[in-house]
Every structure is written in C-alpha cells, then in structure tokens.
Structure 1
Amino acid sequence: MARLQLNKSSLAREGRNLRTYERFLPSLDLKRQQLMAERAKAARTLAGTDREIESLRRQVGNRLPMLANLNVDLSDLARVTAVVVGSENLVGTQLPVLERVEVAIGAYTPMTKPHWVDDTAALLQSMLELRIRRQVEAQRLLLLEAAVKTITQRVNLFDKVLIPKTRANIKKIKIYLSDEDMAAVVRSKIAKNKHATARSV
C-alpha cells in the first residue's frame, strides 16, 4: 500500500475521497435495505409455498388413500410440458420470476380407470405446479441472500474502513501541516532574532 504523503495535494485528494465515500454510503445502505426487505418477502413467499405443498400432501392422503393400490397404473398421468421463467432486475440483482407452468394430463379412458383418477390428476397437476414454483422461489431467495451479503460487505467497507481511515489520514495530514507551519513561524522568528542580534553587534 502506498505511503501517505503529508502535503496539501494529498490532503485535497483525501478530502475528495472522503466526500465520494460519504456520498455513496447512503445509496449503498438504501440498496442494502431494499434487498433485505425483498429477501424477507421472498422467505415469506417460500414458506407460504411450503405450507401449500404440505397442505396438498395431507389433502391427498385424506382424500385419496386408494393411491396405495399399486394395481392402478398412474404413470404418465401428469407431466410438465413447459416452464417459462422470466427475469426481474432489483437494484442491480437479476432475479428469476416464474411466468408460466404448463402441465399436461395424460390421456386415459375413464371407463378403464377408477373414478378417483380424475381427482388424482388434478391434485398431481397442482403439486407439480407448486414444486416448480418452489424451485424458482428458492433460487430467488438464494440470489437475494448472496446479494445482501455482498452489499453488506460493501457498506461495511465504506462505513467501517474507508471513511474512518480517510478521516484519520486527513487529521494526520492537518496535524503535520499545522506543525510544519508552526515550525516555519518559529524558524522565521529565530532567524529574525539572529538577524536583529547580528545587526546590533
């Protein structure tokens, strides 16, 4: 790291740096607050989706105990045919947004399947949609957590390192320059006194 120069140009440079840091810190902190609020919202949304999945799982268990019957072939009853995920820019962070999920119900003859297969197909479709929604929400939360961590590190760098260090540098330079000015005055007075003494002799 470069040694601190104790002169007026260095004082001016440190002053400019301090003004820059103090100007950027509030906007960085605002960005951090926005990301933290969005992270909390994403965590609540994910928790809500988890509750929906658990509720649907219990509903299936209560309404369709006959799913335990392995003699009824339910393979290919429902499958995901398309997932469209968009992107949202939140204060410089790209976040996924689920736009659409398409689930196709496999063709089956109602006369050859039990009556409860219709309910099973509808519930399976809902579960597939919820699972995909949960994946996107989990990814969104993960990205927000990383963004909050990064912006918090930047805020701390400005707030706890750069600004205090720059203030300390400014203080050090000012003290040095003040001491130099005082020493110059003292030297000037001593020289003046010597000159006056030399003249009187």
Structure 2
Amino acid sequence: MLDLFPDDRKALPLDPGACLLGGLALPFAPALLEDIRQIAAQAPFRHLETPGGKRMSVAMTNAGGLGWVSDRFGYRYEPRDPLSGQAWPAMPPLFAQLAREAAEQAGFAGFAPEACLINRYTPGSRLTLHQDRDERHLDQPIVSVSLGVDATFLWGGQARGGRVKRIALHHGDVVVWGGPARLTYHGIDVLPEGLHPLTGDLRYNLTFRQAG
C-alpha cells in the first residue's frame, strides 16, 4: 500500500492528471462534518439499489443542484430527492470553495461543481472498481475528500482487469483526477474496524462533479 511520509503526500502524483493532496481538508474537517449533518437532516442517508437489483453497502445522499441516484432504471443525476420530491439541499459554500481550490492545485482551474455525492461508510462496506462516466462534462475533474476512519483507495487503469494501486487515505486527504485520468477505474476496499475522534467508526467521502 502506498503511504508515504506527510511531506511526500502534500501533492503526490498518481498518474498523469491525477494526484493526492494529503491533508488539504484537515483545517476544514469539523465544519465539513457539521455541513454533512445538516444536509442529512434534510435528505437522509439511504442505501441505493443498483440496476441489477443489489443493495449498495455504502449509504449516500447529495447536495447541490443535481444529485446522483441509482435504481432499477439505471444510474443518473436528478434535480430532486426521490424520497421527498424536494430539491436536494444546497451545496454549502465551504464545499464548493474546497473543491475549487483542490482542483486548481491539481491543475484544473475554473472547476465549478454542481453536485456533491456524500457517501457514508461503515465497517465492512466497500465501493467496487468503477468509472465515473454519468456526467456530461467528462472534460471536468473529479474531486474526492476523505473524512473519518482511514480507508484504502483502489486506483486502477482505463480498463477493467489491469493492475490496481492501493493507496492509504487519511482524514482530510483529497484526491483529484481529470484529463487523461478522468475515466480511471477506482474504488474503496472494505472499510476496516476503526475509530476516529470526529466520526466514530464511520468514514465520509465527498465527491464533487460537474454533472449537468
């Protein structure tokens, strides 16, 4: 597993167009978690169903003008929460600011996220290797923020079945990928048992996208 010293993780290249910004979100973590709590009070976490009828182990909700949903009809973005029929909670200013600054540090200036997918991991949950390709603007990067219990990021290639790097993600880490790395297969390995002083045994992930 790739887990270098803190100074080496401040801007760690993963591939052309992809890098890890170690600890970038640390100063904002308590405020980010409070924003998550307020979003979840309006649009509760839920376990979505895949088009194949399987229940996802990771619970999720959304903030922003669009929210990512999945059911038997497929993967897509919707402007309203299917559970309530209401618009998704507005994206907090801190969310958007952090996403813009992270993208700029990674070489993608002008990023303006429309959607923030918020994933909640419990021990034993995981996210299998996949591509983020439901967005119309594939020329725009993905910005991913880790909060809470440490996880292992799986970073593959442009096709299934290739070599997969295993990268340690710590509280406050941010990963950005775009350009030639935009359709890289990626995922999260099974979350181990662990405790974090701010989140207990949970891990939260904020994934910012320009979707519409």
Task: Name the one with the larger helix percent.
Answer: 1
Which structure's CA Rg is the greater one?
1
The normalised TM-score by structure 1 is: 0.21
Greater relative contact order (CA < 8 Å, ≥ 6 in sequence):
1
Task: Name the one with the larger strand percent.
Answer: 2
